[in-house]
Structure 1
């Protein structure tokens, strides 16, 4: 059963309810895999983790959960539409991507590395659906590993990114535009830094109260 094929849109209440419940399961898995990675002394990003995050996000909502897309996709419509790399390029691009992340694990701070993960996964767009949800949680996975554990907060950074969608999309486009002159993740890094500060400041405020 794939709910989207049955109801035709993501605004349908059945789709929305399952999407929220999937998100809860995705965050539970995310926290578990953060703890397991640190417990095993293996702080790294793997294709297996990314695919598992996508599976939890879109299971029973869309086709091919956790599987790389077997076809071209388009993000948006009209002249501003984004056309990700061809589907046959995805496996190699994902391998190079995770290699790059792990190669720079010690030389980049947590927010820098999370920013790169967030942008690059959106750029590759490796799945049929749920790419944004997967990119946000993969970025948070890296951030938590770099921070030495699950970061506290009732509303964590992936949710804050989603709530600031317009600013988020604009920042992604700015990073994309920089590719022709040299990758600059600065606009997206600034957004993530601010949202993380907000998350941690709220926690500090609750503890002080």
Structure 2
């Protein structure tokens, strides 16, 4: 396996200059994080309507990440895609929408009976398994998983680095856990236990940092974004 996983799809980039791309990605990362927080706030505040994961939520978070960078920002891919560095072949484009609906149904059907960590782990894996976008799959999967985790825990989670930032800081355990879940599915089982363990440890790290910040042991971060 390669050391990193990258989406290989037909290019439709709107920018060519590396500096412009980097600047736009940074700005979009903040926009996506802010949108995720807005979704969490609205759902936590609205106690009368139970949360339902919708395909529109996934598309909106993707649009925020790829706006101005890719022609297919906020839309499902319309071609096949490969993941360099992975043994998994994502489903063909005509099946993407159906697979997304299966993902949403799983989360919504198991909302009351499953833990926040399990649901977030499932989203993180299944979105990467579907790879529904021509680009920005990882960023969007981490954003959606964080939204699901936070809403299930009924909280705007304090602390930093956030779980998505921790994943971005060291992606190897994340990639390994995704590959393990893919192999379990080949064997006919849905098993995201490695991702659950990873997310549980990262959640503890994030919340512990909030406790230390409250105690005055660490400085408050200036800003956050998904990567």
CA offsets 1:100-145 (integer angstroms, 9 cap, x no match)? 1100001111111100000000000111111100000000000110
1:20 matches 2:18? no
Give the equivalent residue in structure 1 for 2:193. Answer: 186
C-alpha deviation, 1:37, in angstroms: 2.0
Task: Choose the corresponding residue for 1:7, options 16, 22, 39.
Answer: 16
C-alpha deviation, 1:6, in angstroms: 3.7
Instruction: Compute the RMSD of aligned alpha carbons.
Output: 1.7
Q: Matched residues in 1 for 2:131 and 2:50: separation?
A: 26
Q: Matched residues in 2 for 1:191 and 1:154: separation?
A: 16
TM-score (normalizing by structure 1): 0.92
C-alpha deviation, 1:5, in angstroms: 4.5
Runs of 4+ with >3 A deviation:
2-6
CA offsets 1:142-198 (integer angstroms, 9 cap, x no match)? 011011121012321111111120111011001101113322211111111111111
Q: Matched residues in 2 for 1:125 and 1:183: separation?
A: 17
Q: Matched residues in 2 for 1:115 and 1:168: separation?
A: 11
Give the match's secondary structure for 1:7.
Answer: coil
Equivalent runs, 1:9-88 vs 2, <5 Å: 12-40=18-46, 41-76=49-84, 80-88=86-94
Give the equivalent residue in structure 1 for 2:178. Answer: 172
Q: What number of residue pairs does the alignment pair up?
A: 203
Q: Runs of 5+ in structure 2 lacking a partner? A: 1-10, 217-227
Give the equivalent residue in structure 2 for 1:116. Answer: 122
